[in-house]
Amino acid sequence: TVQTLGDKARAEGQFREGDRVAGYSNFGGGNSRFISIPANRLTKVSNDVKSTQAVCMIHDYMAAYKALRLAKKAGSPFTGMNILVTDGFSPVGQAVINLASMEGANIYCCADESRHSYLASLGVKCFPKNPEKWLKTAAGTFDVVIDNSCIDAYTSSWYALNQKGSLVCVGPVFNIEGEELPGASCGIFDIVELRQKMAALKAKYIMSQTSFLDTTACYDQETEQYKQDLRYLMFMLERGGIKPKVAERVSLDDVPDAQRLMRSGRANGTVVCVPWIEG
């Protein structure tokens, strides 16, 4: 909710004190009670949209929506197409499942086997997380692959494509599961970040049939398109077509534990910090 306006924002007249808004910020403050943010980064939110749902739209559904848009051929729907999501249990993965299901796609995903029952309830066919367990039988079969895990620098995802398929690599990836990184030490996140940057360069400049989506740069690269897409997603949310899943609402005091939960990949949905609730 807008508490006060600067002189420029007040003169422009787009917002007033008391307006409910949502916006993407690179300036920090996501875990704060108050934040100063340029008015041009904000979008009005109706009273029918919960604040936790708005967070899901900005953080997860925008990434999923833009990834699917990159994969589309001349804007045609995904009806009957085979789509693979390499981390179907993640918040972005579940957003992709939601949006692609609305267009009648056949959706497959990779996930830990303990998550298969839940994902099957969403109408998804599941593979194990390890590409070595499914690639031999699935190679060359998918029209679209959304790689939001970067397990092997996008190699298995590329081989899963058919001849006319599209691979969209979504980065950065924040889930880092300890059991997959034996011998993890204090420098492990720097190593993982370096590997992801190398994989991103590979996806951008070397791999064919491939697009790379940097979720941290979407707003600055296409500001007006970002706002338009966010308004569309909010509209779909109000109509009930989009059903974001909030795993947990946490206070400021619980943020460190919440961040560890998110990095582990065990959160079923989006973890949202609500600074005004008590810990």
Query: Is the pLDDT assigned to residue 152 strictly greater than 70?
Result: yes
Both structure tokens of 169: 């690599």
Burial 161-179 (b: 16+ CB within 10 A, else e): beeebbbbbbbebebbeee
List Cβ neighbours of 28 (8 Å cut-off, separation of 6 or more): 35
Lowest mean pLDDT across 148-157, 186-195, 228-237, 267-276: 186-195
Average pLDDT, the chain: 88
How far apart CA 70 and CA 12 sit, in angstroms, is 34
What's the helix, strand, coil split of the chain in %, to 5? 40, 20, 40
pLDDT tier, 207 (very low <50, low <70, confident <90, very high otherwise): very high
pLDDT in tens, 174-183: 554 544 444 4
Note whether 43 and 21 are within 8 A (CB): yes
pLDDT at 28: 62
Q: What is the pLDDT of residue 27?
A: 67
60 to 40, 183, 202: CA distances (angstroms):
21, 31, 24
Give per-residue pLDDT as tens, 8-62: 999 999 999 999 998 877 766 666 678 888 888 888 998 888 988 998 999 899 9
Q: Mean pLDDT over residues 99-122, rounded?
A: 96
Mean of pLDDT values over 58-71? 94
Share of the chain above pLDDT 70, in %: 90
Distance CA 138, CA 149 (A): 18
